[in-house]
Homo-oligomer: A and B are copies of this chain.
Amino acid sequence: MARFRPAPVAVLALLAVIIPVAAYASSGPVSGGDDITTILVALAVILLGAKLGGSLASRLKQPAVLGELLFGVLLGNLALVGLRWTEGFSQLGALGTLAQLGVILLLFQIGLEANLADMMRVGLSALLVAMLGVIGPFLLGWGVGIWFYPHAPIYMHLFLGAILSATSVGITARVLKDLGRLDTDEAHVILGAAVIDDILGLVVLAVVSGMIRGAESGSSVSSAAVLWLIIKAVLFLGGAILAGRYVYPWLFRVADYLRVRGMLLISALAVCFLASFVAAKAGLAPIVGAFAAGLVLDDAYFRDPKRHGRERLEELLEPLAFFLVPVFFVKMGMDVDLSAFATGGVIWFALVLTLAAILGKQLSALGVVTRKKGSISRWIVGFGMIPRGEVGLIFASIGATLSVAGEAVVSPAIYSAVVVMVMLTTLVTPALLAWSFRRHLS
């Protein structure tokens, strides 16, 4: 490893901050609007800062993504120390879109690198990990609800369980990529489990919120509706695989025929975006669609011996990922509002909830089945399932719109605690995974 010399790093840090500050200073505060000027400076700062943070993290033997997240936290909380010039950044809608496209591309890349056979080989483990990883946090979340809010209706306790159940695989996937560990059995189990987990989380949310709506209106949650959810989700995954087998080769033949420059990349991107779109319409996370598209594209198309396009496609996707992926992780960091930790009353509840979220997912590691003892590290799988990310937040915001006996199922205080839980699970995962990989391999 290179000797760590802080001087040039500090210089780049200064550059990343001073240039825009000077430019802004001469032109007053940032306006709220989504104008291109603010986006340009935001992107420049985010890209330089992400690389700087990533570089520092790598030198400290941490995954680069941790540096990007922490740079984001810094950028998003400058207002706490009185620096207000970046406040406009978090209101940029376009930045959120670029971030979303970034994580979609990341999962597409990861899908391309993975292949169906490897995933299938650990399919049983993935299924068990996903199921235990939903049951564990659900029960613990329920328990924490009873402990802290003993007089609240049972629906509130159940909903807390539901919020804790869904894994958000973006962070873990990125850490595995940063560490160069995507081609391990642990990675296959985690990625497979994350896909199944997303479907299960959807079902849990539907059942619990159906029960709550039913409790208010007197109706009951229909098992037909739940069944339809599962069918839709499975149809999507099945459809992706079929599309891969039959439609993709044909689409790419047409694309070849057009012989326009950049056609390979454009067709692949279109497939990725359409799959993400269909996944979202089926109620799944868009990244699940992107991952499935990558997985299937790799299997159905690039394994054709007449083709040598996969390496080329990965090469073409990489610059896009260099640009967009850090935007996602910096933006995730920016959304961490440090002042949320200062709200005294909630902090204990938040910490216990976080503990429940982390411990609950450790149960999932028991789902790993292998013939050879010790060949798959349960620690790695357990840690990899920890991050909750935006799925938990989406669940919580749905809960905020539901009410039982005139009270919101997710009160503002609980929402803050969920936000803290999401942040902490996001921030602890990279270090835990890096540590467990080092431990497993030594």
Contact = CB atoms under 8 A, between A and B. Distances in A.
Contacts of A15: 251, 254
A51 B262 contact: yes
A8 B254 contact: yes
Given A274-B41, A278-B23, A258 B9 contact: yes
A230 B316 CA distance: 41
Q: Which of A52, A100, A273 has the most chain B CB atoms closer than 10 A to its own CB? A: A273
B265 A319 contact: yes
A36 interface: yes
A384 to B, nearest CB: 22
Contacts of A11: 254
Given A254-B12, A270-B47, A37 B260 contact: no
Given A15-B251, A262-B51, A277 B44 contact: yes
Nearest to A46: B270
Interface in A294-340: 316-320, 322-323, 326
Interface string A1-36: 010010011011001100110010011000000101
Interface string A241-261: 000000000010111011111
Q: Is the interface of A mostly helix, strand, loop or mixed?
A: helix
Contacts of A86: none
A54 interface: yes
A402 interface: no
Contacts of A40: 104, 273-274, 276-277, 280, 286
A266 B322 contact: yes
Given A26-B281, A41-B277, A94-B93, A47 B8 contact: no
Contact of A52 (B12, B104, B258, B322): B258
Contacts of A27: 281
Interface string A88-107: 00000110111011001000
B317 A258 contact: no
B277 A322 contact: no
A124 interface: no
A2 B259 CA distance: 9
A235 to B, nearest CB: 12
Given A41-B277, A51-B262, A51-B267, 15 more contacts: A8-B258, A9-B258, A12-B251, A12-B258, A23-B281, A34-B97, A37-B280, A43-B273, A47-B269, A50-B266, A64-B260, A97-B98, A261-B322, A265-B322, A266-B323
24 contacts: A2-B259, A5-B257, A9-B254, A15-B254, A16-B270, A23-B277, A23-B278, A27-B281, A36-B280, A36-B286, A40-B276, A40-B277, A41-B277, A43-B269, A44-B269, A44-B277, A47-B266, A50-B266, A51-B267, A52-B258, A55-B258, A93-B93, A94-B97, A97-B98
